[in-house]
Structure formats: C-alpha cells, structure tokens
Structure 1
C-alpha cells in the first residue's frame, strides 16, 4: 500500500465521535494534498507514548489534541507558541526541523466563528463559563479581538481564580470572576461540556437579561444551531443570536491546517457540507 505524503491525527479519549478526519480530509482535497488523518484513542496516562509512536513516522506533519490531553501535550512538545503559553494548553502540535511546537487554535476558531455570525466583540463584555482547556484556549483570542472585559464563572472558584490570574499576567487585568447576578453581558459563552449531558450551568437566568449573543462550544446534531440545552434555554429567554460549536470546530481545524501546510482552507465550504450532511 502506498505511503501517504503526509500523516496527521487527533488524540483524545473518547475519540470515536470526532469529525476531524472528515474536516481535514476536505481541507486537503481543496489543495490536492495527499493527507491521511487518523483518530487515535490514547489511554488516560498514555499520551506521551502514543505521541512518541505516532511521530516516529517521518511522514507525520502534526496532530490535534482534544480532551483530556491538552495539558499532556503542553508538557510533551519542545517549544510553545505565544498563544499556547497564554492559554496554558496545547491543541495543535507542529513538526519542525528542530523539534515539536505546541500551539492553540481553539481561541482563533471561536473568534472566527463569532465574527462569521456578525457578533461584535470590540468593546464587548463577555461571560465565559468554564475554566478547563476550552476556556483557556478561548481567552487570549477573545482579548486580542478587542473585548472590554471577560467575567469568568466555574463551579470550582479556585480553578476560575487560577485561570484569571494566569491570563491577567499577559493581559492587564482583563479577566475577573463573575460574582453578581446584576451584571449584564453582550456575549455569553459556554465552554463546559454540560450540554452533552443535557444539563445547564448553575447560573441565574439574569445572565441572559441583556439578550446577549449566546455561544455553546458543544454541538449536538449538525443541521440546527440552537439545539443544545444551553442554547434552547437562551432562546426561550429571548436571545436571538444562539450558535453551537460546530463552526468553532471547523475554524480551529482550519487554523491547524494552516499551521501545518501554510495554506488557508475555505472553512465555510466545509461547514456547509457538515450542516447539510446532518
């Protein structure tokens, strides 16, 4: 069997549900690039061994990293991009002649998707729910997009404070902890996985009182953009702009593809395909 010109993969656990092979396959087709993209299920404590094995093939150009390995990848790579340092998490690994660089395309993917839906970020007050890898990836890009301030909420107040302190070291106190139901927001982003369990964050409905644009990084089904529990709830409370995470998935993949091949794919074409294919 002919060896492909390039190999890439996504590491995760679980990983069977990943659409990354479809997305990157469509990107590669746009440029006639011979790319084989795999899904790799790594054991909970086996990321380093899985990465060592995968990158032992000289054709391997890079990898994506999803839950729960974004911190493992941070420690595995040889060097970090500015985005990865600020995020404190790695979701993209790039092979270079001198070693492996860790980057983070989550925030770029989120911001690009928000912008494609005409959500105004310049001067916005944002509520970000969650303090895990997804939230860490999102924060630097939101700050770079010109938001006025981010309010952070997490069930673990300690984790929220740690993340706020980490990001503020790079961003002049642009992040603080959500503390009162009297605050209003222009954009509300759910960076937790609660919607996968049909659950809602433990927050008052007043977070929607300003009719903010509402974003859920989870997607369930592909043809509608408001079918997670969080988005349905926001819609019922009068929010008109409700967006699921499928576009972010495509946009962050597009940025990873650019980091590997120095080519910018047509992400909207691929997103349209995914929506239509259900």
Structure 2
C-alpha cells in the first residue's frame, strides 16, 4: 500500500515539506505520497477529519495558523504537545489521532548538530508565540541552565512564563536586561521583514551562539547583526528538516538521515 500524509497550512505554497518527506521516503524505501492542503481557518477541522479518515494516511503536519486548532482536535496529546500547547504533527495509531509537537526536538537536534553545548547553557528566548512555546520544553529537557523570555509585548512573555512554570520550575524567568547568555534564539518572524528585535547590543556581550528560526537565501538581518558583534550564527533550515525527520520517525519507525536533505535544500535556496 502507498502511504500518504500532508501538510496543513495557510498559506502553504512555499512549504518544503513535500520535498523533505519524499526524500526521506526514498532513503528509507517507503512508498509514500506527501501533499499540501490549504483550507480556510473555519474549514480546517473538517478538512483534517476527511483527510485522516483514509486508510492509507499515516498522519499529517500542521503549520501556521492551525497548530492551536490541531491541539484541540486530537484524541490524545503527547507530553511535548501538552507542554507546548500546540500540535504540529498528527499520528494515526490504533484507531486514534495522537497530537505531537516535534518543533523543539528539531531545534535541539540542530543545535547539537552544530556543536552547541546545551547543558547548563544560559538562554535568551526572543518571542512568546507558538514557536517559542514549541521550543521551550525541548530546551528544558536538554538540561539548559536557565531560560529568559523576551517579547515585545511583555504580558505575552509573562503568560508564557506562567504557562510553562509547571515543567520549567526555577529555570524560567523574564528578560532582566543584565544577564549574560550562551545562546540566543530568535523565535520571532521579524527577520522575514528585515527587522531586529528591540533589544540592546549588550545581550551579545558574552559572544553567545545566535540561532534564528527563520531561514533565507542569505544570512538574516538578526544573524548579520550578531555576526558583526562577534557571534556564531545559525539559521532555522536545520530545524525545519529535523522536525520533519522526527515526524517521519513517528509515522514509520524509521529515522532518516537529515544531512543530505539539508544540503539539497541549502543549495536550492
């Protein structure tokens, strides 16, 4: 039987998920079709139900703006999805739809792939939306030392700190303007509009590794600025491939090699 999955998003035309998953399938010798669906927000739940009802479907990926709806749609939630408050992967198993979140795992794997030491690291997480919420559980699981949250709207940062308190314990706090960092993660989409987070250059004083979840065909403005201040910078392309690989593993119990896929995507940017 040919297996099938899709990515739900709106817009979704630019998604690289079909290429990534079809390349994984070739690596792992799986007969697999991966498509895109872009329903209107009000139609997402019906579209998801219809798609998942087909016998050959193993699951789906979910991107903006459907992750919160996906959270309430599933029969069961994984621990990561519960802690993130959002779902980016549907997994069909034993007649149920399980909600998973692989974003944070993809981030942590990419950081480690780039040689970043996470144990006891002091982290500044910029942003308090879905991307930040997805990253936080995996960072805590990676045994970072502390995470501070900065958001342009401080109340949203406070909400995230409160939401995550149950599993972050004493490691999580608001940005204080004085701490030094080993790792700064830009979990906003500001780089897509060539804007910098409204933070002082003092955050780069310790020459932290700087990670931008956005990826472009050139270094983002956040990366360029941080590099000018002596920081090592990484973009989010590896996170994209890593979170997809984790989804593929949940569907087929086969772990694909991300390196050749990442090289192909990088050369095509």
Fold match, TM over 0.5? yes
1:195 and 2:187 aligned: no
* Aligned residue number for residue 113 of structure 2: 116
* Aligned residue number for residue 204 of structure 1: 200
Structure 1 gap ranges (5+)? none
Among candidates 48, 52, 59, match of residue 62 of structure 1: 59
1:141 and 2:132 aligned: no
Counterpart CA distance in 1 for 2:197 and 2:36 is 30
Deviations 1:174-230 (CA, angstroms, capped at 9, x unpaired): 2111022x2210000000111111111111111111110000000012xx5xx1111
Among candidates 167, 170, 175, match of residue 164 of structure 2: 167
Superposition map of 1:1-278 within 5 A: 5-180=2-177, 182-221=178-217, 227-239=219-231, 241-278=232-269
Matched residue SS, 1:123: coil
Matched residue SS, 1:273: helix
Deviation at residue 43 of structure 1 after TM alignment: 1.0
Deviation at residue 276 of structure 1 after TM alignment: 2.3
Counterpart CA distance in 1 for 2:212 and 2:47 is 30
- Greater share of residues in helix: 2
Structure-1-length-normalised TM-score: 0.94
Counterpart CA distance in 2 for 1:131 and 1:50 is 28
The total of aligned residue pairs comes to 269
Counterpart CA distance in 2 for 1:202 and 1:115 is 28
Counterpart CA distance in 1 for 2:39 and 2:249 is 25
Counterpart CA distance in 2 for 1:35 and 1:110 is 25
Deviation at residue 45 of structure 1 after TM alignment: 2.4
Residue range with higher mean Cα deviation, 252-261 or 50-59: 50-59
Deviation at residue 121 of structure 1 after TM alignment: 0.5
Deviations 1:41-80 (CA, angstroms, capped at 9, x unpaired): 1212222122112112211111111111111100011110
Counterpart CA distance in 2 for 1:220 and 1:103 is 27
Structure-2-length-normalised TM-score: 0.97
Deviation at residue 274 of structure 1 after TM alignment: 1.2
Structure 2 gap ranges (5+)? none
Deviation at residue 39 of structure 1 after TM alignment: 1.2
